[in-house]
Structure 1
Amino acid sequence: MRFIPHVTVATVVEDQGRFLLVEEIAGGRAVFNQPAGHLEADESLIEAALRETLEETGWHVELTGVTGIYLYTAPSNGITYQRVCFAAKPLRHDPELELDDGIIGPRWMSRDELAADPQRWRSELVLRCVDDYLAGECFPLALIRQG
């Protein structure tokens, strides 16, 4: 069997103690995730993070660092994902932007609100990325090399 990990990006966006999350339909239920998605052909990781955040939330953000790189195998389908998680600050919201299919909408939540509802997480990486961000885990964007 050939092993092919899926490269994804995610963005932890914090504003005054609240985090920008995406409420979306996955597996037939409404769940919370960071703005996140798959890397596309001919796209840098940074470009992917900015694009996914905008497409899923309508928010333009400025990336400020790398929170972590995670390897996760989803128990639901056995697929392994390599997630590169960025930290970002919000710049402006475009409420008229049409969001990706399956997206219910952006939600701002505190860490405690998110932690209180684990059955609504897309995966355990949702809280882990927030906790790593809050612990000060932030590496320079220069960590990401293109080419």
Structure 2
Amino acid sequence: MSTTRTWNPHVTVATVVCRDKKYLLVKELINGQEVYNQPAGHLEPDESLIEAAKRETLEETRWHVNIEHLLGISRYVAPSNGETYIRFSFIASATEHNEAAHLDDGILEAIWLTKDEIVQLKHALRSPMILNDITRFEQGDKLPLCSLYDHTEN
């Protein structure tokens, strides 16, 4: 007889924000280690994917963004904990910096880096999805936001 295991993948969002050939990244402290990531985080209850992407970017970088396209959807199994993450990556443009905005705990700074600088930090990237997203962005991958359908019933 087999036992049924409950499987709950984590739904996350991330933004690729590019300005003057530099990408907006977050330097954060995870388990006592400094790592780099795109602005990213978990979808919260009663929140659309686009709302989550805007919120996470602001909370981690102090930048308001305009979400322009869906870059793609990735599945990632983290080797550190075996958890599965379903990540919706978006292309966004920075519209306004809010220095007064509170940064999430663990965020050390938001930083703009070129792709070459990011490649040099490969050992310190939180996941391989960061460079994957940048490569897809530079190849011109993008889907219209209408590819997402947010159905809610009251």
TM-score normalised by structure 1 residue count = 0.98
1:50 correspondence with 2:45: no
Aligned match of 2:83 in 79, 85, 93? Answer: 79
**Between Structure 1 and Structure 2, how many residues are aligned?**
147
Distance 2:39 2:56 in 1: 6
State the secondary structure of the residue aligned to 1:8.
strand
State the secondary structure of the residue aligned to 1:133.
helix
Tell me by how many angstroms 1:97 deviates.
1.1
Runs of at least 5 residues in structure 1 that lack an aligned partner in the other structure: none
Q: Give matches, 1:11-50, under 5 Å.
A: 11-50=15-54
Distance 2:124 2:147 in 1: 32
* Map of 1:132 onto structure 2: 136
Distance 1:144 1:35 in 2: 20
1:7 correspondence with 2:11: yes
Runs of at least 5 residues in structure 2 that lack an aligned partner in the other structure: none
Identity %: 47
Distance 1:36 1:72 in 2: 14
1:6 partner letter:
H
For residues 94-138 of structure 1, the C-alpha deviation after alignment (integer angstroms, 9 at most, x for no partner) is 112110000001000001100111111000001111111111011
Distance 1:123 1:107 in 2: 17
State the secondary structure of the residue aligned to 2:70.
strand
Q: CA RMSD in A?
A: 0.6
Tell me by how many angstroms 1:72 deviates.
0.2
Distance 2:6 2:139 in 1: 36
TM-score normalised by structure 2 residue count = 0.94
Distance 1:30 1:94 in 2: 24
Question: Rg larger in 1 or in 2?
Answer: 2
For residues 37-68 of structure 1, the C-alpha deviation after alignment (integer angstroms, 9 at most, x for no partner) is 00000000000000000000000010110111
Distance 1:82 1:5 in 2: 7
Q: Give matches, 1:111-126, under 5 Å.
A: 111-126=115-130
Distance 1:143 1:112 in 2: 31
State the secondary structure of the residue aligned to 2:117.
helix
Aligned match of 2:96 in 78, 92, 106? Answer: 92
